[in-house]
């Protein structure tokens, strides 16, 4: 097949959507397909390549790290015709998403859409620029209208599927979790010396336990929930460091929070790190923690599990089928439960090892290979259904 992926976010950006797209592209190409990416320009990447085409774009006012591209382009319409796309896979609700819809209709190309983000949890970004009409209710209505324009909708989790159904989406919805290339997280890739060097870099004593959050440092990630519970953990143990890997709009307020709580010596803001080092941070950590309930799947949980890092997470339905409580990870439901659960795991090496081993086994269900296979099947079914509807 000739497959066109449309996205507003791609290299050089590093986020869950970009990683998912690059993983999918690689797997589809390994399965013999031709994959073309249509995305926005960037100051680092302005020119097209043989398989990545960039539409003129500008930074978003309320989120400068993201860009808004042209809604239509004759030049790219011609490229799409020349490459004879069999299917379009849209990955955005913004500019390239509108282009995907219009070009698929114009050229009668089947089109699927992945709903990556629960946008009703992100209205605080829009309120900052006084777009007061963009409420959760308005976003649900927009999501319904937008998704119903596609032939098939892909949901990364059953939670996302149920949300879309509740919005009023009536098009077929396939649940396909994002896949992960486990090679970046294999034990064989890192040595004890590599791990020791990370500890030295951030002045972490060798015998200290490492608690890790890795991801975008944004308000909806609820990193403050973790930080606020650290004083309680300190009543049980003091030989730990909480390292936050990533950057984002909540960083300065979280730094202030740690100072106000008097725990700055226990929290390390490591900032944005190269993708090649992500696996090393998981291997350095004893426990990966996350209190967010705004995710659609939670790729970082699976990355941690694939690395053999024990996961402690605040329960949310998007983690059903990913984490089994007390089998391959640990849930907390109330914030004040977190310190006790964390201490129990950090102080019990045998329990942590058992959870870790089970996590690595379960993570295989989310392999990149299965991701590519399931998406290929969804494409073929969409193409077939489109042909059948045209005939009838």
* In the chain, where the domains are located: 2-179+368-391, 182-365
Helical packing angle, 158-167 and 136-147, nearest 10°: 100
CA 297 distance to own-chain centroid: 7
Cα–Cα dist 27/386, whole Å:
24
For domain 182-365, give the CATH number.
Answer: 3.40.50.2000
Cα–Cα dist 139/94, whole Å:
13
Q: Cα angle vertex 334, ends 328, 340, to 5°?
A: 65
pLDDT of the residue at 47: 78
Residue 179 carries which DSSP code?
P
pLDDT of the residue at 388: 82
pLDDT of the residue at 61: 56
CA 230 distance to own-chain centroid: 26
> Could you give the C-alpha distances from 272 to 38, 216, 245, 281, 307, in angstroms and in order?
26, 9, 6, 12, 20
pLDDT of the residue at 126: 52
Per-run averaged pLDDT (10 residues), the chain, 392 residues: 95 85 97 96 81 83 63 87 97 94 96 90 54 76 96 94 96 95 90 96 97 94 97 98 96 98 98 92 98 85 94 93 94 97 97 95 91 98 89 60
pLDDT of the residue at 203: 97
For domain 2-179+368-391, give the CATH number.
Answer: 3.40.50.2000
Global pTM reads 0.82
pLDDT of the residue at 15: 79
Q: Cα angle vertex 341, ends 290, 269, to 5°?
A: 40
Residue 247: what are its φ and ψ, rounded to 5°?
-140, 165
């Amino acid at each position: 097949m000739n497959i066109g992926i449309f996205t507003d976010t791609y290299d050089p950006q590093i986020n869950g959507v970009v990683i998912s797209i690059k993983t999918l592209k690689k797997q589809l190409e390994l399965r013999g397909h031709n994959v073309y990416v249509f995305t926005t320009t960037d100051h680092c990447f302005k020119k097209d390549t043989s398989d990545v085409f960039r539409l003129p774009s500008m930074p978003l006012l309320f989120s400068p790290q993201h860009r808004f591209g042209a809604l239509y382009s004759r030049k790219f319409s011609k490229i799409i015709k020349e490459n004879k796309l069999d299917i379009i896979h849209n990955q955005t609700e913004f500019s390239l998403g509108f282009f995907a819809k219009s070009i698929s209709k114009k050229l009668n190309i089947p089109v699927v859409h992945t709903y990556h983000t629960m946008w009703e949890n992100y209205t605080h970004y829009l309120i900052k620029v006084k777009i007061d009409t963009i409420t959760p209710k308005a976003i649900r209505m927009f999501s319904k209208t937008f998704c119903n324009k596609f032939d098939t909708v892909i949901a990364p989790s059953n939670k996302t599927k149920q949300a879309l159904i509740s919005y009023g989406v009536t098009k077929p919805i396939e649940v396909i979790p994002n896949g992960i290339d486990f090679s970046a997280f294999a034990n064989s890739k890192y040595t004890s010396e590599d791990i020791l060097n990370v500890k030295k870099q951030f002045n972490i004593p060798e015998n200290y336990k490492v608690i890790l959050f890795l991801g975008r440092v944004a308000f909806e990630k609820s990193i403050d929930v973790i930080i606020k519970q650290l004083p309680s953990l300190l009543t049980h143990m003091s030989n730990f460091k909480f390292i936050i890997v990533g950057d984002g709009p909540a960083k300065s307020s979280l730094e202030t929070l740690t100072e106000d709580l008097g725990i700055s010596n226990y929290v390390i803001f490591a900032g944005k790190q190269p993708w090649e080092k992500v696996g090393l941070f998981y291997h350095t950590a004893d426990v990966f923690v996350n209190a967010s309930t705004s995710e659609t799947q939670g790729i970082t949980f699976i990355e941690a599990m694939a690395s053999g890092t024990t996961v402690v997470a605040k329960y949310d339905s998007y983690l059903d089928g990913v984490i089994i409580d007390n089998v391959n990870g640990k849930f907390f439901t109330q914030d004040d439960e977190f310190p006790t659960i964390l201490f129990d795991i950090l102080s019990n090496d045998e329990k942590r090892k058992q959870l870790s081993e089970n996590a690595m086994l379960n993570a295989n269900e989310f392999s990149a290979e299965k991701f590519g296979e399931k998406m290929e099947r969804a494409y073929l079914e969409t193409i077939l259904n489109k042909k059948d509807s045209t005939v009838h």
